[in-house]
Amino acid sequence: MLLPPDVSLVLASKSPRRSYLLEQAGIPFTIRTAEVEEVYPPETPVLEVAPYLARLKAEGARHLLRADNEVLLTADSVVILGDEILGKPRDRAHAIEILSRLSGNRHTVVTGCCLQSTRKQLVFSSTAYVYMNTVRPEEIVAYVDRYRPYDKAGAYAIQEWIGLAKIRRIEGTYPTIMGLPVDMVYERLLDF
Phi and psi (nearest 5°) for 132?
-100, 130
> Looking at residue 118, what DSSP letter applies?
S
Separation of CA 143 from chain center: 20
Give the separation between CA 82 and CA 183, rounded to whole angstroms. 27
Active site annotation includes 76? yes
Q: Out of 6, 68, 76, 83, which one is annotated catalytic?
A: 76
DSSP 122-187: EEEEEEEEEEEPP--HHHHHHHHHHH--TTSGGG--TTSHHHHHHEEEEES-HHHHHT--HHHHHH
Measured on CA atoms in the order 166, 170, 175, 180, is the torsion positive or negative? negative
Q: Which helix (H) or strand (E) holds 105?
A: none
- Could you tell me if 80 and 86 are in contact, meaning their C-beta atoms sit under 8 angstroms apart? yes
Q: Which amino acid is at 123?
A: V
Catalytic amino acids?
76
